[in-house]
Amino acid sequence: MQQLKTINQIILTSEGLQLYKKLVLQLNKDFHRAGIEDRFSEEISPSDLKIQLHYSVSELLQNNYSEYLNLLYIIDVSEAKIKQIVGESNQEITEQIAFLILHREWQKVWFKEKFKS
C-alpha cells in the first residue's frame, strides 16, 4: 500500500483501482454505524465528496462533539494522529481530520479488496 498524503491522492488511487464506489459505501456504512444521518450518494463526484466530508466533520465538531468522537472510534482513526493535528483555523483542522477519516476508510477498502477470497 502506497503512502497517500492528500484526500485527492486517496480519491485518485481509489478511482484508478476502481474502488471509489466501495470507498463511498464504506464511509456510509461507518457513518450509519456511528448513528450519523449524513449519507454520501454512491454517484457522488470526488470533488463533492471532499466538500461534503469536510462539511460533515465541521458540523460534528461544532454541534455534536460526542457523535464526532463516536465516528472516529467506529472508523478507528488513530488517536495519536488526531492529537498531532495543528491548524490555525477550523478549516485547516477540519481538512486534516477529513483526510484521516478518508485515509482510514481507504485502508479498510484496500485491505478487503486485496485479501478477499
**Residues 85-98 pLDDT 10s:** 988 899 999 999 99
Mean pLDDT of 45-73: 96
Q: Find all residues with CB under 8 Å of 97, minimum gap 6, and list them.
A: 57, 61, 77, 82, 85
pLDDT at 117 over 80: no
pLDDT at 52 over 80: yes
Q: How far is C-alpha 61 from the chain's CA centre? A: 14
Q: Among 1-5, 61-65, 68-72, 108-112, where is mean pLDDT lowest?
A: 1-5
Nearest Cα to Cα of residue 102 among 18, 16, 31: 31
Nearest Cα to Cα of residue 105 among 17, 7, 2: 7
Express as a percent the part of the chain with pLDDT over 70: 97
Model pLDDT, residue 1: 59
Model pLDDT, residue 87: 85
C-alpha cell at 42: 454512491
How many Å apart are CA 3 and CA 104, to the nearest integer? 12
Mean pLDDT of 32-47: 95
How many Å apart are CA 109 and CA 89, to the nearest integer? 31
pLDDT at 65 over 90: yes
The pTM (predicted TM-score) of the whole model is 0.94
